[in-house]
Structure 1
Amino acid sequence: MRGGFRSIRTKFIVGFFLIFAVSFLLLSWTVTNIIQTSNQKIITDDLIGLKKTSNNYVRQAFMINHFGNDDIYFGQIAEEMISDLRYAMSSEVSAYTVDGELIHASDESAFSGAGEDDLKQATRGATAYTISYEGGTAAVYYSYPVVIDGVKVGILRYSKPFDLLYEQSDRILNAVFYIALAIFGAAFLFSYLLSRHISVPLAKLEGASTEVMQGNLDVRLEVTRRDEIGRLADNFNDMIGQLKSQIGKIERDRDRLEKLHLQGKHFFDNVTHELKTPLTSILGYAELIRENGESDPAFFRKGMDHIVGESQRLHGMVVSLLETSKEQGGWEESGRIEAGSLLRDVCDAMSFKAQRYKKAIRCETGNELLVEAQPDKLRQLFINILDNAIKYSDPGAEILASASSVAAENVRIVIANSGQPIPQEKLASLFQPFGAEGRAAREQGSVGLGLAIAKSIMDELGGTITIMSEDGMNKVTMELRGAKAGRTV
């Protein structure tokens, strides 16, 4: 389960524990209070009877001997009176003066360890008793003033054991405690089993739902019950099965739509970029021929050759793009290409466009720079990079295109031009679609996909392409895998 999640089982157990604990404490407190109240009533009733009987005895003793209410006489008959009362009341008895001084006691040791709160209250004219618990015994000390004809003549104090009463009370309390504890234990065990019975399948459901949330649609609940939780588990399994089926259908539709979208985008990109360059070249040659072709027969022938060549290439591209729109491969098959020769041809074709912008292209290439590639793709790559260099270089700039062999027989092509510096943070984004949209020198009609297509072509050819901007120069470096000598396309 997730961190911080308090399980239903824990809530059940804690809840039942608190309920039964509070109930147990309330029951114990209630029973104890009832027993204590009952004991106090029994003791009070017993002491009232004891007082009444002893008062009658003392009054009769005074009447028989025709004495008045003299406290001296109370002290004189104290010993005999204590003996008779002890026998009659089955309790230890002691007699005191009205000031609380001991006159006589049936057993002084019975009163020596007791407190004197009850005796002090009796000296003030009150009737009081205290209960003492010592050594597992319970004794009540009961004191009251003896009054004859409205005059206090002395104090009688009793020590009466109530061991049986308190032993019985303790037995009742213990019985209630253990019975309540047994009920509490049984109820707690039942609540634990009930909470487990409910929480275990819910925990499985929670874990399964978490896995589903994380993308695992193969999870299933194994709950063999016929109650609401069992039906919930069955519904969950059915829901996951239907969800998996629907997601599979959605993914198939998504993949088909993405494939169609990519095919349409590829077709559109090729149409908007690959048709523009040869048309521009044809238009440039045509304009130059119209201006001075008649006076320069050699230039006229060269220009017409370029127009025918570009027209044938344009026708081939149109055919290829139409095949691409039918989901067929529109490129020629790969072969060994002499990259230097192809770069010189592209530079020668693009030089007329550069002249229109008052710029020049200088091409420096080595020999036997063989690479494994598709000719049209490689030509498109060179055209796109040179086209960007022409558009974004400084006025009157010379664009340098070079090709050379590097380590591992690879071929490196570098196209450099002077131009506006490109911030480092924007270099990587230039290879993304529309990455050059914000550049100030952008040519009218450009849609910012030239470098993105170049990057796509390099990825397909298994090469690398990078761009650097430093010391007033913008340089694009391409590196292609070399190919051994053989058939050259």
Structure 2
Amino acid sequence: MLRTIKSKFIIGFFLIFSLSFLVLNQTVKKMILASNQEIVTSDLIELKKNSIVYVNQAFLVNHYKNNKLYFGDMADDMVNHLSHSTESNVGVYTVDGKLLSSSAKKVFAKSRDDDLNKAINGMTAYHITYDRNKAEVFFSYPVVIEGKKVGILRFSKDFSLLYKQSVGILDIMFYIALAIFAAAFLFSYILSRHISIPLVKLTEASSEVKKGKLDVEINFRRKDEIGQLATNFNDMITRIREQISTIERDRDRLKELNEQEKRFYDNITHELKTPLTSIQGYAEMIKEKGESDQDFFKKGMNHIVEESQRLHNLVIKLLEASRETSRNDQFDRVDSGKILKDVCESMKFRAERYKKRITYDIEEDLYVYGQTNSLRQLFINLLDNAIKYSLANSEISVKAAIVGENVLFMFKNPSTSFENNQYSKMFQPFYSVNQKIMEEGSLGLGLSIVKTIVDEHGGFIKMFNKEKHTIVNVEIHHMKVEK
């Protein structure tokens, strides 16, 4: 399609310049011919005036009664005198067109008689004959004496030099016009290529984009509209690639969330079903023989209580994971170090149950702007996570200190390491690194709750593995103690 534009450019310019060339050439030719005709006419008028003066003077000096006879008698004298004074060939004719005398009989004998015939009819006339590079004018007019036509004078004058000059001028104009035409046509060809080639490349690039290939790029070192068009095209492709990349990331993220949600529902179905089935089974067995077997009755009741508590904890965690933070919750200046110490002391018993121990090093006056219950829940979840996923017979280290403008809480426990990108995903809802190592009854919601609490307090949390230890760092802005 755009190659047709190039052809249209060239054909259009060719037609325009060809027409202009022809019009210019014909116009100049007509102007030169008109100018030559004016020169010839003016020269012949002057020639006629001079010859009439001579003839009239001759008739006045030698007056005859019969002017026609006298005109014939003086024919030779008129030819000699006029041929020298006018530098032309001269012929003297009777009123009937019969040649009486001439300076060159061959010239008048072979010429056309158009002008002579008109002179016989009483008119002044001339015509031009061309022979190779020679231009000759034949001029005739009737001689009238005292109101009567007595004869005809005919002149043959050479205007070859004038017409040679005209032809030279026409040739020069032709070559100048031809050179201008060639230069203009060459310029139009270059211009058409300069315009059409970038358009062809843009068309090809857009066709590639239409096929789904977005790795195209156009580089035009131009500062005109086409260069700006290429820049806009490249920017558009870049924006499309960015949008597609964003869509793909969102698609992958949505897929991942769907998979996590499916795992979540699978887990919650399994985890809720297990304690309920156990409770129902023990309840039916106690109903049948509980009164007769006190040991089994106590064992069954204890199991029912444990499973009920486990079910209760699952529901609480679900509620905490799905809750929305209320803007009306009360934030206040609280001693986070004191809260952390209380949590460490209370969680020691849970750690001992797993044959693990908690050690802590907590500075004084670790005041932050926050909520006591939320911070307590934050520390409980982090310690609970460290207890569950640390190696057997390990030590869980807790430290809290002021670092710069923030309070740093560090929880460290020996554990199996994972890929670095998995540690950031652990704060996502429903995410689990390895289903097999999850504690029974855990839904992978604890760290999601932790992340929510840290965000509510304007803090920062990071989990990583170093020297076969999982480390969780939490930073919350420190409120200095007023003295």
TM-score by length of structure 1 reads: 0.49
Structure number, greater radius of gyration: 2
